[in-house]
Structure 1
Amino acid sequence: MTYSKEEIVAKAREVADMIAQTEEVEFFKRAEAQINENQKIREKIASLKSLQKQAVNFQHYGKERALELIESKIAKIEEEIDAVPIVQEFKQSQTDVNSLLQMVSTAIANQVTNNIITSTGGDLLRGETGSQVRNSPANKK
């Protein structure tokens, strides 16, 4: 059976919907909402963005000393933000969701490769397609 690109994309959307309904994604959404509801964190993030813009300007104009001062302020605010437990949980949830996406991507790539090898009469253990196996020095004797 041959599938069209449209059919494959439709299945990919189904998988994406499944991923969006995992515990990892649900936790990510809850943590993000808690961060957005926290006035103190929002203020620190706004301050951080402002300082980052200043840093870009100082860098652009070659203001090295001012840039160093701003970068130390940025680092301090980043540490303060990172010290908040919900931020740590949010960052962990980002890592978890990214790991899940990577696992799905790897599983798809591996399955496609295995199907190609198998369908061509290849050798899964050696990772060779059928044409590689037929044309290998061991089979040319």
Structure 2
Amino acid sequence: MTYQYSKEEILAKASDLAGKLSNSDQIRFYKQAESKISANQKVQRLVEQIKKYQKESVNLQHFGKAEAYHQNEAMIDKLQAELDAIPVVQEFKQSQEDVNDFLQLMAKLVSSRVMDNKQ
């Protein structure tokens, strides 16, 4: 005989698992990197400039201003390269990849267990 879990029991277990995952090394490192990014004024300035140029690019493309659009895109690429060269940004991007890989692994494990128990 197999036990049938209620929706509430499953949600409670999922909440418990989420709490445990949020205390993992990968998630803690990600949160620290995110805090550093948020506190870094140079990073925030570059992000705002990139957003501004991206909005301009949408408008330029919409109005068929090809040359201005390409100049704008070149500026975005330059600013993005400057942003990507900052060590705290590199650290943040690596932590994002690590967390993504970790969460994908967790999702595969859960899916695998669900399918194994289904049979």
Q: Verify: 1:56 aligned to 2:58, yes or no.
A: yes
Measured in 1, the distance between the counterparts of 2:78 and 2:18 equals 37
Q: Which structure shows the bigger proportion of residues in helix conformation?
A: 2
Q: Give 1:12's aligned residue.
A: 14
Matches within 5 A, 1:11-50: 11-50=13-52
Matches within 5 A, 1:1-141: 1-117=3-119
Percent identity between the two aligned chains: 43
Question: Is there any run of 5+ residues in structure 2 with no aligned partner, and where?
Answer: none
TM-score (norm 1): 0.79
Aligned length: 117
* Greater Rg over alpha carbons, structure: 1
Question: Once structures 1 and 2 are overlaid, which stretch shifts more, 8-17 or 87-96?
Answer: 8-17
Letter in 1 for 2:62: H
- The one-character-per-residue Cα deviations of 1:101-138 (angstroms, maximum 9, x if unpaired) are 10111001111111122xxxxxxxxxxxxxxxxxxxxx
Q: With CA pairs under 8 Å and 6+ residues apart, which has the higher RCO, 1 or 2?
A: 2
Runs of 4+ in structure 1 displaced over 3 angstroms? Answer: none
Q: Give 1:128's aligned residue.
A: none
TM-score (norm 2): 0.93
Question: Is there any run of 5+ residues in structure 1 with no aligned partner, and where?
Answer: 118-141
